[in-house]
Amino acid sequence: MSIVEGKMASANIKQVAQHAGVSLGTVSNVLNRPDLVSPATRQRVLDSIATLGYVRNDSARQLRAGRSRTVAIVVLDVSNPFFTDVVRGAEAVVEEAGGMLVVCNSGEDADRETRHLDMLEEQRVQGLLITPVSDGRHPRLDAFVAHGIPVVLVDRGSGHPSRCSVAVDDITGGRLAADHLADHGHRRILYVGGPMTIRQVADRHAGAAAALTERADGVRFDVHETPTLSVAAGRQAADDLVALPASRRPTAVFCANDLLALGVLQGLTAHGLRVPHDIALVGYDDIEFAAAAAVPLSSVRQPREQLGRTAAQLLLEESGGSAKHSHRHVVFQPELVIRASSARERKRARS
């Protein structure tokens, strides 16, 4: 079991399809069922493979070795574009192997997650990718492993001995956001996120708190815990924040993900407050809508499709029974993307 730094992969099947101007399925057929593809199209795809230096995932061939060809992914919130991008990355790898990816939504609800896991175990899927509601020690996950069904945790670090994981260093991500806001003169910063039982939410807060404590420049760092990681919860947090006396309001808000931040932005604007002039704002994920927001959102970027691709590659390697497979915990580093929502220096840092 080892911790490895996430590295950019070589070209993938999606890039080959885009380069050749064909669907993912056509590329998969060229690789697995070339007789189904016209010679001209086949040659065009092969030329793209050569041009891009695409290297097929050898362990993926195992997926067609007469076993189930269905991989399941259980996400926390299917309406969150973060997971859409993660699924897109995983899907490309699974389809390249000639398999199918089935998406299940836990809705951040532990009972619903358990019901999905029970049904997926009955289906004897080839493997399971999951961003768990609770920590990665759910007893159902042990049952999957006991039945020879590999499990990979996604967007969740784990030291668990019997499963791989792919995550982003959320502690560092929290530090990046907090240091950025403190560097811009903010001395009252609010963390909006929850439930704090979700490991990523807790880690982002812990990283921010550690960074601000080490700075020792007297930043007040409060927490507003939300029931979900949604736009609606962000709007509600803005309503609660505006209800505070002006002297107690934060001058900056760091949100556990971009959906919360977009909700906070919407709520503050509805109350006539300006971002960043009155309150600076930073989100997390850097989903496509962050840059497109009415006030472009600063955000801690996660390599979303890469998370999905890497998790699926680990799963296929393990499910292929490769003797070379050893459980790995891949950790990518986050990156702070600064945009208008937090780019303004705070002239007078309120104590």
**Contacting residues toward ligand RIB, per CB under 6 A:** 76, 80, 82, 131, 155, 198, 200, 229, 257, 284-285
By DSSP bridging, strand 188-193 and strand 151-154 are unpaired
We find the least distance from the C-beta atom of residue 283 to ligand RIB, in angstroms, to be 9
Burial of 337 (0-12, 13-18, 19+ CB in 10 A): middle
Closest to ligand RIB by CB, 284 vs 332, is 284
Alpha carbon distance 13, 18 (integer Å)? 9
Instruction: Tell me the closest approach of the beta carbon of residue 258 to ligand RIB, in angstroms.
Output: 7
Helix (H), strand (E) at residue 104: strand 100-105
- Smaller CB separation from ligand RIB, 167 or 241: 167
Radius of gyration of the chain (CA): 22
Report the nearest approach of ligand RIB to the CB of residue 83 (Å). Answer: 7
Edge-first strand listing for the sheet containing 127-130: 2-5, 328-332, 164-168, 151-154, 127-130, 70-75, 100-105
Q: Left (φ > 0), alpha (ψ -120 to 50) or beta: where does 108 sit?
A: left
Two tokens, residue 67: 């076993």
Q: 77 or 121, CB closer to ligand RIB?
A: 77
Q: Which residues contact 183 (CB under 8 A, 6 or more apart)?
A: none
| Shortest Å distance, C-beta 255 to ligand RIB | 10
* Nearer of residues 82 and 254 to ligand RIB, judged by Cβ: 82
Q: CB nearest ligand RIB: which residue? A: 257
| Least CB distance to ligand RIB at residue 305 (A) | 14
Closest CB to ligand RIB among 49 and 281?
A: 281
Toward ligand RIB, which CB reaches closer, 76 or 238? 76
Report, in Å, the least distance between residue 263 CB and ligand RIB. 12
